Chain A
Amino acid sequence: MPAEMEFFVDPHRCIGCHACEHACAECETHKGNSMIHIEYVERSTSVQTVPVVCMHCHSPTCADVCPADAIKRSADGRVMTARKPRCIGCSNCVLACPFGVPKMMTELELMMKCDMCFDRTSTGRKPMCATVCPSEALFFGTREEVEQRRKRSRPTNEFRFGDQTVTTKVNMMVPRGRTESHLDVTAALHEKPTGGLISLNVLTAAPVPVGGAS
Chain B
Amino acid sequence: MNVPGSEQPREYPDGRPLPDQPTWRQDFPTDVPDDNHVARREFVKFLVLTSGAFVAGQCWIAAASALREKGPLPRLRLATVAELETKRVVEFRYPDEHEPCLALCLAPNDRVPIIKLNAVAHVSNPVSDRFGFIDRSIEWHPERQYIIVSVNANSLWHGPSVIQLPQQPGFPTLDAGQETFNSRLVAPTRVGLGVN
Q: Give the interface of A toward B (CB within 8 A).
A: 1-6, 58-60, 63-64, 69, 71-78, 80, 116, 121-124, 142, 164, 167, 169
A6: chain B residues at CB < 8 Å are 4
What residues of A have a CB within 8 angstroms of the CB of B32 in the complex?
A: 72-75, 80
CB pair B31–A72 under 8 Å, yes or no, is yes
Task: For the A-B complex with A58-B11, A59-B11, A122-B5 known, give 15 more contacts whose Cβ atoms are closer than 8 Å.
Answer: A2-B2, A3-B1, A5-B4, A6-B4, A60-B30, A64-B30, A72-B32, A74-B31, A75-B5, A75-B31, A75-B32, A76-B5, A77-B8, A116-B4, A142-B1
Q: B33 within 8 Å of A by Cβ? A: yes
Pairwise interchain contact B3-A75, C-beta atoms closer than 8 A: no
Binary CB contact string for chain B from 1 to 40 against chain A (1 if under 8 A, 0 otherwise): 1111111111111000000000000001011110100000
The 8 A CB mask of B125-151 against A (1 = contact, 0 = none) is 000000000000000000000000000
Residues of A within 8 A of B5 (CB): 75-76, 122
B10 in contact with A76 (CB, 8 Å): no
Known A-B contacts A60-B30, A63-B30, A64-B30; A73 and B10 likewise in contact (beta carbons under 8 Å): yes
23 contacts between A and B (CB under 8 A): A4-B6, A5-B2, A58-B8, A58-B9, A58-B11, A59-B10, A59-B11, A59-B13, A60-B30, A64-B13, A64-B30, A69-B35, A72-B32, A73-B32, A74-B31, A74-B32, A75-B31, A75-B32, A76-B4, A121-B4, A122-B5, A123-B3, A164-B13
Give min CB distance, A179 to chain B, whole Å. 24
Q: How far is the CB of B22 from chain A (nearest CB, A)?
A: 11
Size of the chain B interface, CB-CB below 8 angstroms: 19
CB-CB under 8 A from A64, the residues of chain B are 13, 30
Q: Are A121 and B31 in contact (CB under 8 A)?
A: no
Chain B interface residues toward A at CB < 8 A: 1-13, 28, 30-33, 35
Please state if B30 and A122 are interface contacts (CB–CB under 8 Å): no
Partner of A71, one of B2, B13, B30: B30
Q: Which residues on the B side are within 8 Å of A74 (C-beta)?
A: 31-32
Contact in complex: A3, B13 (CB < 8 Å):
no
Q: Whole-angstrom distance between the alpha carbons of A14 and B4 in the complex?
A: 24
| Chain A to chain B: the 3 pairs with minimum beta-carbon distance, closest first | A77-B8, A63-B30, A58-B11
Minimum distance in angstroms from A67 CB to a CB of chain B? 10
Residue from B3, B10, B31 whose CB has the most chain A CB atoms within 10 Å: B3
Indicate if the CB atoms of B1 and A124 lie closer than 8 Å: yes
Q: Report how far A121 CA is from B4 CA in the complex, Å.
A: 7
Q: Are A4 and B4 in contact (CB under 8 A)?
A: yes
Residues of A within 8 A of B35 (CB): 69, 72
In angstroms, Cα B1 to Cα A163, docked, is 37
B8 contact set on A, CB distance < 8 A = 58, 75-77, 169
Q: Which residues of B contact A123 (CB under 8 A)?
A: 3
Q: Which residues of B contact A116 (CB under 8 A)?
A: 4
Given contact pairs A69-B28, A74-B32, A1 touches B2 in the complex (Cβ within 8 A):
yes
**Roughly how many angstroms separate A121 CA and B3 CA in the complex, as a whole number?**
6
Report the bound CA distance from A69 to B6 in whole Å: 24
A124 and B13: CB pair below 8 A?
no
| B24 (CB) vs chain A CBs: closest residue | A69
- In the complex, A1 Cα to B153 Cα: how many Å? 77
Taking each of B4, B6, B8, which has the highest tally of chain A beta carbons within 10 Å of its own beta carbon? B4
Determine the distance from Cα of A58 to Cα of B1 in the docked complex, in whole angstroms: 23
Expressed in whole angstroms, the Cα–Cα distance for A27 and B24 within the complex equals: 36
